[in-house]
Structure 1
Amino acid sequence: MHNDDGINGAGGGADGHPEDRPPVPHTVIEGRYELLEPIGSGGMGEVWKAHDRRLRRFVAVKGLLDRRAMTPDTQKAAMQRARREAEALAKIEHQNVVTVHDQIETADQVWIVMKLLEGRSLADLLSRDRVLGVPRAAEIGLQMAQGLRAVHEASVLHRDVKPGNVLVRDGGQVVLVDFGIATFEGADRVTRHGGIIGTPPYLAPELFAPAAPGPTSASDLWALGVTLYEMVEGRLPFGGNEVWEVQANIQQSPDPVLRYAGPLGPVIQGLLTTDPDRRPDAAGAEEMLRDVLADPGRPTPARAATPAPAPPPTARPASPASGSASPDSEPVPAATAAAPAASSSGAVPSGAVPSGAVSSGAVPSEPSPVASGGGRGRLSGWKVAAAAACVVLLAGGGWLVSRGDSGGKQDDASGQQGGGAAGGDAEQAWEQWKSARKRLTVGAKEDQPGLSFYDKDTGGWSGFDVDIAYALAGKLGYDKSQVDFYGVTTANRASKLKNGEVDLVVASYSMTPEREKRDGISFVGPYYKAGSSLLVRKNSAKYDLGEAVDVKRNQVEVCTARDSTYADRLEEDGYTTGKWQPDTYKECVERLLDKRSSVYAVASDDVLLAGYAQNDPAHLKLLPSGAGTEPYGVAMRKDDPLLKSKVCSGLKEILAGKEWAEMYMKDLSPLTGRKTAPSRPELRPCSAE
């Protein structure tokens, strides 16, 4: 964070403005590391951004939390943990593991000096996006596995692998962080308050067996499996806040339902095998994840509206019970488990194998025997099972194959190409398309008042984009109860389309030829034309910003969403922008409202910014609109000409009737102040290419 005048975390002045606050002296460790501002904290320490005065670089420095409140015994234990973390990290040099520069011990503190990494945690990404596409999840999982391989080869155990301890940088690099409870192979069990150290939903079941030797590398791989599941399914595989709740859920339901995992299903199932000896090691997981990413035409599952019910226990092939099995159920090797019943659309939940395929011998009923001496021997059995599972799913007709670069191949069940209907009957082809998709999934933004907004309290969506999407769904033959909205951002909406996570995107998506070519998508529209504007602080103590020219003249920092049409245009137009732009306009507005930030303006569409200004009129002010317009289009995959044709005719009907004006007056008139609806935008030609 940056203060208006470069003051970091200054104390309060007479009127509360940071400009009037005197600077506070910074703590300097060993005359070298100047602590500037806290950038993260957890149960094991607080991390500061610091300046290395000797080498003139910024670093991250981690120290213990609340050491003054510790008793002598707890302080001693905390010091030992900090020394162990530094020692563990110093053993490892890998791009997917945080780098340690130095360790300093003072009278009552251990400081760990690390490379300063910009990015956000995987937990933050999941909090924002809820789920990730299979390719993105597989890429993150692959880098996590690579990092764990380096960790384990150094005989170190992380013991707290979870999204909060995984940093995802802007360029895509994934880094394992927070080794505060790391230990070494063969070390004694370490407990806290009588229990196992770690985060309950990510703890492997073998850690709680009475005669268990303690944590092993396999325990870290279990946590990787939980994290992969959470990324693609949007929830934890085994719920519960307490250790006993999580472990009871593992015992009662050792094979959590997979709906959206696709080719990641067998990988996740392998990692979530309750017997640690049957789990792939880090190298094995790495190889399996590479296989998932190797084929750009990898299958992705059809969506079911709700999880399909599991079959009766008699349909499940038996396997030797593990130490964590409950008396009422027998755990099954995950890659061989029978699938839940197919949904009404004929889709098989991802990662599961139809029970008939198992009984016919398509997938072995047991994994390969475990080779003595380690996880590499476990790999081959899981690779065979994973490959067989994918083959059976494809052969069974439960998959819809989707390729973003298919060059005109249609991904619907009809098997048509290039827009030609199967058997020459377009309506029959459309009915086949719909039968494969009982529900329509629409990508929309969650944080744009008036345009598209998700209310977390009620679970409801509202706004002009949302109403357009509902109206369009009606023209396609779906009622409101059959429409699912999925939160997207400016930065990820194209990938959500290409990954098959959404069918359409209606998210203030400015339609440009460059985007169609770059993102591999098609637009239908425009359904609205917005102007451009700037949002500023209403009462700035430092600058008087009444017009766009004031923002440019004062060279104040302007924020916009990454990958927006404004990202490149601002600098070309002479505005000052920051080095890093966030994924959403909401984050820009949060920076604008933070008086410690150097952001003084947000650039975007006038109607979009008007929603934020109306929500906080005491602090935000919308400047007059500038030149140019942003035409909003409905986006879809380029390889789906049938859908594009239906969207084109549906939007044409909406613009021609009364619906459009009614939606405008309901959603946008309160923002624009217009008493009547403007003229409807003219729909561009949208033939099914």
Structure 2
Amino acid sequence: MRSPTLTVEDVKKIIDNQESISDLEFLSKGGQKVVFKCKINDDYYTLKFLELSDWDDSGDLNETHDIQSEILARATREIDIMRKCDTPTLVKLGPIGMTLTEYNGKKFLYFSEEFVEGEDLFQILSKRTLSQMEAIQLGIDIATAIEHLWSIGMVHRDIKPKNIMRKMDGTFVLLDTGIAFDTQGKALTQAFHIVGTRIYMSPEQLANIKASLDFRSDLYLLGIVLYESLTGKHPFFTPGINSVQLVSRVIGGEYEPISQLCKDIHPKLERLINRLLSVQPHLRYRSCSSLIQQLKKIREEL
């Protein structure tokens, strides 16, 4: 799925009837979305655009319909989750709900979200690792987000540095809930490419055992992110590795001990991350609250 090609001028024409929107500027592009920053009634938000008609020339009407339905379903799910989960650790819905429109013969979907001022974790880790105190804050905040998602029967499934923002006050926010798996209803597919790339997937995700997915799968992904945040290295991916080797390492739980890469790590924090990275879900934490409690205890000892 490709992100749409839109300029600031294009968006101004699309939202021409929205007098409350001003200060529009391009923010980012990737995956299925192109994102703009704007001011709505004097507060900053992001506007996310997804193109629905980019697939009309594929030649396969059934495939086109399926892809468009998938995009709509993901956007609807993302908006629904933002409405249901009231926590500062998950991004909030803005004043403009899901809107369908046409521009230059193409169909677009757009909606607004809370603007999170800060830097995504991927950008941060490209420059430095996190301190143990920062990593503990990351763990507390993302575990809180996972807990709120699970309270409505959702599993995020895509927790990775690019989907985590560090706010100016040092707290963290989890983004992009559109791929979330509804344990009580229809599951959305997850498209991913693992050849030559880092992956953030639990063993049960790789095995495609959707029936067994619960919050513990997200805790595993949090374990990967914490490992990488402290060491600067993905626990399973190394340059040049092929997909078979990569999956084998995940399934086998093969990774270099954190203490060999981060010499001063608190032993309890290392054990906590090792527990999150357990291959078997039942060996991870039984609840997010118990994980959060343990992280807070370790913070007191640092």
Task: With the length of structure 1 as denominator, give the TM-score of the two structures.
Answer: 0.37
Give yes or no for the alignment of 1:80 onto 2:86: no
Alignment-derived partner of residue 164 in structure 1: 162
- 1: distance between equivalents of 2:166 and 2:114? 15
Asked whether the equivalents of residues 151 and 158 of structure 1 are also in contact (C-alpha less than 8 Å), the reply is yes
How high is the sequence identity, in percent, across the aligned residues? 23
Change (3 A) 1:270 1:78: same
Alignment-derived partner of residue 295 in structure 2: 289
Alignment-derived partner of residue 124 in structure 2: 125
Pairwise CA distance, 1:212: 5.1
Structure of greater Rg: 1
Which of the numbers 92, 99, 103 marks the counterpart of 2:97? 103
Structure 1 gaps, min length 5: 1-8, 12-23, 299-689
Alignment-derived partner of residue 248 in structure 2: 248
SS of 2:109's partner is strand
Alignment-derived partner of residue 272 in structure 1: 277
Alignment-derived partner of residue 204 in structure 1: 202
SS of 1:236's partner is coil
- 2: distance between equivalents of 1:189 and 1:165? 20
- 1: distance between equivalents of 2:298 and 2:162? 24
- 1: distance between equivalents of 2:219 and 2:297? 18
Give yes or no for the alignment of 1:58 onto 2:52: no
Give yes or no for the alignment of 1:70 onto 2:55: yes
Pairwise CA distance, 1:10: 8.3
Pairwise CA distance, 1:84: 1.3
1:142-541 equivalence runs, <5 A? 142-192=140-190, 201-209=199-207, 213=211, 215-239=213-237, 244-254=244-254, 256-259=256-259, 260=262, 261-262=265-266, 263-280=268-285, 281-295=287-301, 298=302
Asked whether the equivalents of residues 252 and 279 of structure 2 are also in contact (C-alpha less than 8 Å), the reply is no
Q: CA offsets, 1:463-488, max 9 Å, x none?
A: xxxxxxxxxxxxxxxxxxxxxxxxxx
- 2: distance between equivalents of 1:211 and 1:147? 23
Change (3 A) 1:158 1:10: closer
Asked whether the equivalents of residues 50 and 61 of structure 1 are also in contact (C-alpha less than 8 Å), the reply is yes
- 2: distance between equivalents of 1:180 and 1:215? 16
The one-letter code matched in structure 2 to 1:63 is F
Structure 2 gaps, min length 5: 1-6, 57-63, 102-106
Pairwise CA distance, 1:218: 1.1
Asked whether the equivalents of residues 236 and 255 of structure 2 are also in contact (C-alpha less than 8 Å), the reply is no
Alignment-derived partner of residue 59 in structure 2: none
Pairwise CA distance, 1:68: 4.2
1:651-670 equivalence runs, <5 A? none
1:87-98 equivalence runs, <5 A? 87-98=80-91
SS of 1:63's partner is strand
Change (3 A) 1:92 1:85: same
Pairwise CA distance, 1:25: 5.0
Asked whether the equivalents of residues 161 and 223 of structure 1 are also in contact (C-alpha less than 8 Å), the reply is yes
Asked whether the equivalents of residues 237 and 246 of structure 2 are also in contact (C-alpha less than 8 Å), the reply is yes
Change (3 A) 1:210 1:172: closer
1:595-606 equivalence runs, <5 A? none
- 2: distance between equivalents of 1:25 and 1:123? 30
- 2: distance between equivalents of 1:67 and 1:210? 27
Pairwise CA distance, 1:98: 0.6
- The structure where helix makes up a greater share of residues is 2
SS of 1:61's partner is strand
Mean Cα deviation higher: 202-211 or 131-140: 202-211
Q: CA offsets, 1:537-563, max 9 Å, x none?
A: xxxxxxxxxxxxxxxxxxxxxxxxxxx
Pairwise CA distance, 1:29: 6.4
Higher relative contact order (CA 8 A, sep 6+): 2
SS of 2:86's partner is coil
Asked whether the equivalents of residues 74 and 188 of structure 2 are also in contact (C-alpha less than 8 Å), the reply is no
- 1: distance between equivalents of 2:252 and 2:233? 18
Asked whether the equivalents of residues 84 and 183 of structure 1 are also in contact (C-alpha less than 8 Å), the reply is no
Give the aligned length.
271
Task: With the length of structure 2 as denominator, give the TM-score of the two structures.
Answer: 0.79
Change (3 A) 1:187 1:269: farther
Q: CA offsets, 1:208-242, max 9 Å, x none?
A: 33655153211111000000000111101111677
Asked whether the equivalents of residues 85 and 179 of structure 1 are also in contact (C-alpha less than 8 Å), the reply is yes
SS of 1:103's partner is coil
What RMSD, in angstroms, separates the aligned Cα atoms of the two structures? 2.9
Asked whether the equivalents of residues 8 and 25 of structure 2 are also in contact (C-alpha less than 8 Å), the reply is no
